């Protein structure tokens, strides 16, 4: 039962990235960048900066889920065009298609910890800013 509930929470999160899926003190780690944000407000700010500002209209495609007891592993392809500032860097106007993997740990009905992995060199190369 716990695995099914954890899977549903992460599946729902992937539908439109609501920050309500996260625990108030959740952590979200960007492994290739060595960056961690903590707390639902910082997570919301980070997601908005990425999806709304840097890559508006981006899509998450080819999503595959592997459900565990309290963890869910997700593989997807991120597609978007960089039309806004990304971490202080001006937009390149270039499109990217990058495969990513995330590990989401669920406790008490909320995502407590997220770790996302991708090939940062490939992402940078596609943006034309290498």
CATH number for the domain including 118? 3.10.450.50
Q: Which of 89, 46, 74, 57 is nearest to 123 (CA)?
A: 89
DSSP 86-123: BTTBPP---EEEEEEEEEEEEETTEEEEEEEEE-HHHH
Q: pTM, whole model, 2 decimals?
A: 0.89
Q: pLDDT per residue over 77-90, tens digit each?
A: 999 999 999 988 99
Task: Provide the number of structural domains found in the chain.
Answer: 1
**Predicted local confidence at residue 1, as pLDDT:** 45
Domain that holds residue 17: 2-127
Residue 8: other Cβ atoms inside 10 A: 14
Q: pLDDT per residue over 28-80, tens digit each?
A: 999 998 999 999 999 999 988 888 999 999 999 989 999 888 999 999 999 99
């Amino acid at each position: 039962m716990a695995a099914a509930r954890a899977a549903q929470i992460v599946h729902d999160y992937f539908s439109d990235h609501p920050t309500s899926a996260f625990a108030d003190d959740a952590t979200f780690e960007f492994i290739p960048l060595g960056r961690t944000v903590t707390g639902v407000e910082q997570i919301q700010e980070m997601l908005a900066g990425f999806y709304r500002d840097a890559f508006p209209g981006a899509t998450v495609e080819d999503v595959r889920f592997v459900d565990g007891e309290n963890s869910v592993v997700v593989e997807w392809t991120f597609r978007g065009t960089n039309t806004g500032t990304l971490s202080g860097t001006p937009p390149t106007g270039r499109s990217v298609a990058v495969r990513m993997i995330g590990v989401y740990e669920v406790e008490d009905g909320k995502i407590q910890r997220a770790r996302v992995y991708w090939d940062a060199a490939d992402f940078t190369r596609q943006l034309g800013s290498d």
